[in-house]
Amino acid sequence: MHPAPVAWHVTHWGTDQWSRGSWTSLGVGGSTTDRATAGTPVDDRFVLAGDATNPVAPSMTHGAYDEGVRAARWAIDGGARRIAVIGAGFAGLGAARTAIDLGAEVVVLEARDRIGGRAHTVALGRDVHADAGAAWLQQGPTNSLARLADQWGLRSVPTDFHRPLAAAADGPVGDVAAAHAALAAHLAIAPADATVADVLPAYLAALTPSQRRDAQHAVDLELELENPAPPHLLAARTALEEPGVGVGDRWLPGGYTALQQRLANGVDIRLGTPVRGVTWHADGVEVRTASGEIHRADRCICTIPVWLAPELTLTPGLPAAQLAAIQRLVPGVVEKVVLRFDERWWPVSPSGYLRWYDHPASWGEWLDLTDGVGAPVVAGLIAGTAVSRHHHGNDEAIALAATAALARWAASVT
Ligand SMILES: Cc1cc2nc3c(=O)[nH]c(=O)nc-3n(C[C@H](O)[C@H](O)[C@H](O)COP(=O)(O)OP(=O)(O)OC[C@H]3O[C@@H](n4cnc5c(N)ncnc54)[C@H](O)[C@@H]3O)c2cc1C
């Protein structure tokens, strides 16, 4: 019998009112151009900026931050003196910090009662912190936030995603990397209008039983974790194409909050202030909050998750081509559990990564935080279709079910 966790945190990004998803993938007909189109300024007054509008680093914190910086420069270069920013995630904080540093007056309107958005550090007991959303600084040398973390002296721990301590429920782990490469090659030549759900069953059926097992493991963990959008909406061609985790990643034992707090220092951020609509015209913009307040500015930078943007009342509105591009950016759900124990009872992975191949997939990807945070803590991820199968009940039930998956992995590691 494995020990029960003494503290836990379970996320609900998929149902959280201000995210309703974790990150976007490309839907049918989508391309990275859609990301740039979604982030194109409208009438020189309004712009969407966030992790989904970044064509080179989508779905990552530094991609969001870089988009905020881009939007701030657009506003300043256009002569804006007063800028309204909607959302205080990394994109909003990047926009606000940059605009202030360039001499503008900025107000940030944030719906939640905290900053950070989908990157949020939680406490597990008094002395331990862990990230409930984003945890890694990815893409090593090109990561602007990693550079800031270094500049500000924040401790970070390198990890190697490609060397997990892996185990499978149905026997020794096969050559999942080769299966992943073969699947990627097959998906890359799928018809332009095909979804993953269209292509995958026939692909798997044509394989030998042992190839199929390895391919299924690649689908369950790598494809669904990187691109958690529903398979019937996910474009087959790009499903294994966009960049994600890899060599050069690091995580912050003190949590992402330390970075966010430094960026937010001195910024006028109005928490608990959901925005309902934005109107723009020749003289400027008016941003209307849920309580009816109006904030006037020269330009508005909107950093809410892009799939929520069409729900705002935007006047005169987004061009049809931009709305169509946004609709091809399909949100998916990744959830996380962070578990603290009295002692580390699971085998130690040299890279810190643990991977559990179980079909149908459950809590498959884990990072052992113990050495970094100085207490027995491990974080697990569940993605895509596995969320609807396993992310049920109250948080304690979810934490215990995740612990059971970790225990099955521990019992299977050889
Ligand atoms: C479980 C999980 C794990 C992840 N892991 C990683 C990782 O390891 N590394 C990595 O780089 N990325 C990771 N990501 C992705 C990363 O978190 C996001 O790409 C990034 O945080 C997005 O930043 P953003 O500023 O674009 O959006 P958000 O962080 O979503 O910020 C938008 C803000 O807008 C606010 N808002 C929404 N609607 C309104 C409204 N109407 N009015 C006012 N405010 C509003 C929200 O409350 C939020 O604060 C992960 C995400 C999840 C969910």
* pLDDT tens digits, 78-129: 999 999 999 999 999 999 999 999 999 999 999 999 999 999 999 999 899 9
49 in contact with ligand 1, CB cutoff 6 A: no
Task: Report d(CA 276, CA 311) in Å as an integer.
Answer: 8
Four-point Cα dihedral 182, 186, 188, 194, nearest 10: -140
Residue 61: its H or E element: helix 61-77
Cα gap 85→93, rounded to integer Å: 9
- For 113, other C-beta atoms within 10 Å of its C-beta total 8
Q: Give the mean pLDDT of 23-33.
A: 95
The one-character DSSP state at 128 is -
Domains of the chain, first to last: 7-12+162-244+333-412 (3.90.660.10), 24-117+257-330 (3.50.50.60)
Q: Residue 35 has what pLDDT?
A: 97
Query: Looking at residue 247, what is its pLDDT?
Result: 66
Q: Do β-strands 275-281 and 313-315 pair in parallel, antiparallel, or remain unpaired?
A: parallel
Where does the pLDDT of residue 131 fall: very low under 50, low under 70, confident under 90, or very high at 90 and above? Answer: very high
State which ligand 1 atom lies nearest to the alpha carbon of 62: 11
Task: Using a pLDDT cut of 70, give the percent of the chain over it.
Answer: 99
Closest residue CA from atom 6 of ligand 1: 134
- The pLDDT value recorded for residue 8 is 97
The minimum-distance atom of ligand 1 relative to the CA of 118 is: 29
Ligand 1 within 6 A of CB of 211: no
Nearest CA to ligand 1 atom 7: 134
216 lines ligand 1 (CB under 6 A): no
Task: Determine which helix (DSSP H) or strand (DSSP E) holds 353, and give its type and residue range.
Answer: strand 353-357
Query: How many other β-carbons are positioned within 10 Å of the β-carbon of residue 225?
Result: 20
Q: Is 190 in the pocket of ligand 1 (CB under 6 A)?
A: no
Chain CA centroid to CA 166, Å? 23
Strand-pair partners of 301: 47, 85
> Which residue out of 12, 54, 61, 314 has the highest number of ligand 1 atoms within 8 Å of its CB and is therefore the one to mutate?
61
**Tens of pLDDT along 260-278?**
999 999 999 999 999 999 9
Among 137, 110, 144, smallest CA distance to 290 is for: 110
What is the Cβ-side half-sphere exposure of residue 337, based on CA atoms within 13 angstroms? 30
Given this model, what pLDDT does residue 243 score? 59
What spacing in Å lies between the alpha carbon of 102 and ligand 1's midpoint?
Answer: 25
Are 116 and 257 in contact by the 8 Å Cβ rule? The answer is: yes
Asked if 165 and 354 touch (Cβ cutoff 8 Å), the reply is yes
- One-letter amino acid at 412 equals S
pLDDT-based confidence at residue 242 (cuts at 50, 70, 90)? low
pTM: 0.97
Nearest CA to ligand 1 atom 4: 134
**Structure token digits, residue 279:** 């109107």
Over residues 287-302, mean pLDDT: 98
Q: What is the pLDDT of residues 296-347, one digit of tens each?
A: 999 999 999 999 999 999 999 999 999 999 999 999 999 999 999 999 999 9
Measured from the CB, is residue 57 less than 6 Å from ligand 1? no
- Is the beta carbon of 382 within 6 A of some atom in ligand 1? no
> CA separation (Å) from 99 to 271, 284, 298, 405, 407?
19, 17, 12, 46, 49
Per-residue confidence (pLDDT) for residue 392, from 0 to 100 = 81
Reported confidence tier of residue 58, pLDDT bands at 50, 70, 90: very high
Averaged pLDDT, 354-363: 94
Residue 390 host element (H or E)? helix 385-390
- How confident is the prediction for the chain on average, in pLDDT? 95
CA distance 398 to 361: 15
Structure token digits, residue 207: 């394989």
Mutational pocket test of ligand 1: of 304, 311, 365, the residue with most ligand atoms within 8 Å of the beta carbon:
304
What's the mean pLDDT in 143-150? 96
CB atoms under 10 Å from CB of 17, counted, come to 9
Q: Per-residue pLDDT averaged across 189-214, rounded?
A: 97
Which has the higher per-residue pLDDT, 241 or 353?
Answer: 353
CA 30 to chain centre: 19
23-27, 61-65, 221-225, 352-356: least confident range: 221-225
User: Residue 172: phi, psi to the nearest 5?
Assistant: -60, 150
Q: Give the tens place of pLDDT for each residue, 372-409.
A: 999 999 999 999 999 988 888 899 999 999 999 999 99
Does the beta carbon of 304 lie inside 6 Å of ligand 1? yes
Whether residue 134 has its Cβ less than 6 Å from ligand 1: yes
Q: How many helices (H) and strands (E) does the chain have?
A: 13, 22
Minimum mean pLDDT among 104-118, 195-209, 235-249, 269-283: which range?
235-249
Angstrom distance (rounded) from CA 62 to CA 57: 7
Q: Which atom of ligand 1 is nearest to the CA of 18?
A: 37
